[in-house]
Amino acid sequence: MTNFFFALVGRTVRLSLGAGGGAFVGLIFFLSVVAVVPFGVGPDMKLLARIGPAMLWIAALLATLLGLDRLFQDDRDDGSLDQFMLSGLPLELVVLAKAIGHWLATGLPLVLGAPVFGLILGMEAQAIGLVTLTLLIGTPALIFIGTIGAALITALRRGGLLVAILVLPFTIPVLIFGVSTITAATTTGMPVMNPMLILVALTMASAVIGPVAGAAALRAGMD
Amino acid sequence: MNKRQTRLSAETIAVSRGGRTIFEQVSFTLGAGEMLAVTGANGSGKSTLLRAVASLLPLAEGTIRFEHPGRDDATTAENVHYFGHLDGLKPGLSVRDNLALWAKFAGRAGLPAIEALEQVELDHLDDLPAGYLSAGQKRRASLARLLVVQRPIWLLDEPTSALDSRSEAIFGDLLAQHLGEGGLALAATHRPLPVESRATLALGAA
């Protein structure tokens, strides 16, 4: 049973990193958004450094939503989802395994890329460190919340953009507390721990709610 | 395995999809080593019946019970192999890697992956990505899934479609072996099956 769970995590990672998997598209999209911002706001280093953390977070949020639509749809189309349901592993854990695999393939590269992109925006060392840390804590929450949307549109054809529209409003708390952790340290001088602990709480809560709600959505879509 | 007590029974089951009743008042009983052939016109609900037995679809009425001494804790879903229209293969992964995940299903361990592929005569293609296989080869790769983990009930939806006559004979041997070991099978089909079925359940056109 646990073997199947870890095998499913591993397979999700492999399929995501393989040809047509789309793991790197998210990272390149992340880079593109960050690289375009200085052209838009102009070469004001101070301004860039100030809005940098927010830009990185928004870019990471969009990049995360980009790859979610095929999370369960491919499995439904080729019959794998039927087999998952008969595998003996509760569907909630199947969803959790898929979400973890998806984070390892698409979320983790964003976290690792964030320090490099922070340099592009002229951010200070402390801000770069905090962006990386908050993304590490916060991107799992984005994926777990997104999993619910991905499960909901599984039965639909061409639901790609629909996931982003459905999920985006629910990710706003994660965005708020992710960015406010950084600004608390760099500009306002407020305590860092308070917003960061709320971010941790959001991730932990969504790690439970995401798989349960996602499994319910998949079951409802089987009819 | 106690052959006499293994029994799959459905009592007056009905399934509706999208508010429309596909079939109702269907009952059958199946014992160890027996196969039930499900026949009927297109759209009469053969696939729906198989999916309902696999508990992939909810029942509107009736009950499906599986009595199997020794494995009381397992649900019906954990006792069935569903061999449907879709092969469940990932085109980007090799045949062996595809099979490796299915081998970790709940159930008694069956043949090692390479031996299962030998049975369906695909062992020479085990490192080829599944996307390059022909329709019949994909079908056989999917058939190997039924061998790597032993489960007592086989639900076969048009099992011989896309198979050539040689593969059909192989499938017949595997099915006969499964039934001989006390397994059960439900097969929805239009074509004559390579193995004699105990009974035929004809579903009326909806």
- Between strands B108-109 and B35-40, the pairing is unpaired
Determine, for residues B107 and A88 on separate chains, whether the beta-carbon distance falls below 8 Å.
yes
- End-to-end Cα separation, chain A, in angstroms: 26
The pTM of this model reads: 0.89
Residues in chain B with CB shorter than 8 Å from the CB of A88 are 74, 77-78, 105-107
Q: Fill in the amino acid letter for B32.
A: A
Spans of chain A below 70 pLDDT? 1, 20-21
pLDDT (0 to 100) of residue A94:
94
Q: Which of A45-49, A115-119, B144-148, B173-177 has the lowest mean pLDDT?
A: A45-49
Residues in chain A with CB shorter than 8 Å from the CB of B87 are 78-79
Determine, for residues A15 and B90 on separate chains, whether the beta-carbon distance falls below 8 Å.
yes
pLDDT (0 to 100) of residue B74:
63
Q: Please tell me the distance from the alpha carbon of residue A115 to that of residue A113, in angstroms, as a whole number.
A: 6
Determine, for residues A79 and B18 on separate chains, whether the beta-carbon distance falls below 8 Å.
no
Which tokens hold the place of B189?
Answer: 């089909």
Determine, for residues A19 and B87 on separate chains, whether the beta-carbon distance falls below 8 Å.
no
Determine, for residues B56 and A222 on separate chains, whether the beta-carbon distance falls below 8 Å.
yes
Nearest CA in chain B to A75: B88
Domain boundaries, chain A: 2-220
Q: Say yes or no: B99 contacts chain A, CB-CB below 8 A.
A: no
Q: What is the average pLDDT score of chain B?
A: 85
Tens of pLDDT, residue by residue over A7-38, are 999 999 988 888 766 778 888 999 998 889 88
Helix (H), strand (E), coil (C) string for A68-110: CCCCCHHHHHCCHHHHHHCCCCCHHHHHHHHHHHHHHHHHHHH
pLDDT (0 to 100) of residue B2:
46
Q: Please tell me the distance from the alpha carbon of residue B104 to that of residue B29, in angstroms, as a whole number.
A: 30
Predicted ipTM > 0.95:
no
Q: Please tell me the distance from the alpha carbon of residue B158 to that of residue B166, in angstroms, as a whole number.
A: 17
pLDDT over 90, % of chain B = 5
Nearest CA in chain B to A74: B90
Domains in chain B (CATH in brackets) are 7-203 (3.40.50.300)
